[in-house]
Amino acid sequence: MVDRVPVKVRRLDVARFRVFQVGAAAASGLAVLARRAPWVPVWIVAGAAMTIAIALGLRSYRWLGRRDLSFDSDQIFVGEGGAVVRARDVRLWAAGEGEVRVHTNTGDTVWRFLAEDTSLDILRAKLARMCGRPRRLVPRGSPRARAAVGGLALAAGALFAAGVGASSPALGFSAVAVLSVLLGAFFHLSRKVVRPAP
């Protein structure tokens, strides 16, 4: 067992994350219904659904902190006495700026390894030897699209401030609604996705 590579480790439980996505969408729908139907039970159900969705979202990600990855033939050991990732269990791996992601065959786990350039180069070389050529990890949206949406979000923030200053609840609430949509779009465009290797 050689070549210890220091990285920051995050582990995503895909099944829990999918449930979180469904729960968050359901909670949002219930929240809209609760605004239109001033019934206490609807508010309670909407609040409970949102709480459960947030809890599942938080539990889907595990932040394992700094660990030393070590390699032995076709296995990766995540820290001392930690999880073992075997080459035969890897469906694909992708390399991007500052990180490497490893997707398992079962599709239930995604490992994220974040590291400095030197450690990342060693990790990429080891994974290439064990699991073949990587795919690319790139932001979903182009820099121009992200900049445009970010600029619109700043404008919506200024509109919200103007609404507060003018004591106009309608303007303030409208700005918050637009801002939430734009921020969601910005994070969606900024999210890194796996693309085929060039």
pLDDT digits (tens, 9 = 90+) for 129-152: 888 888 887 777 788 888 888 888
User: What proportion of the chain, given as a percentage, has pLDDT over 70?
Assistant: 78
Asked if 121 and 106 sit in the same domain, the reply is yes
Q: Which two tokens stand for residue 1?
A: 């067992």
Asked if 111 and 35 sit in the same domain, the reply is yes
Asked if 172 and 91 sit in the same domain, the reply is no
Question: What is the distance between the alpha carbons of residues 185 and 5, in angstroms, rounded to a whole number?
Answer: 35
Containing structural domain, residue 162: 143-195
Asked if 89 and 173 sit in the same domain, the reply is no
pLDDT digits (tens, 9 = 90+) for 149-175: 888 888 888 877 777 777 776 666 676
Asked if 124 and 156 sit in the same domain, the reply is no
Q: Which two tokens stand for residue 162?
A: 């103007």
Confidence of residue 5 (pLDDT cuts 50, 70, 90): confident
2: helix, strand or coil:
strand
- Among residues 93, 118, 138, the one where a domain terminates is 138
Judge if pTM exceeds 0.85: no
CATH code of 79's domain: 2.30.29.30
pLDDT at 52 over 80: no
Question: What is the distance between the alpha carbons of residues 191 and 189, in angstroms, rounded to a whole number?
Answer: 6
Asked if 6 and 60 sit in the same domain, the reply is yes
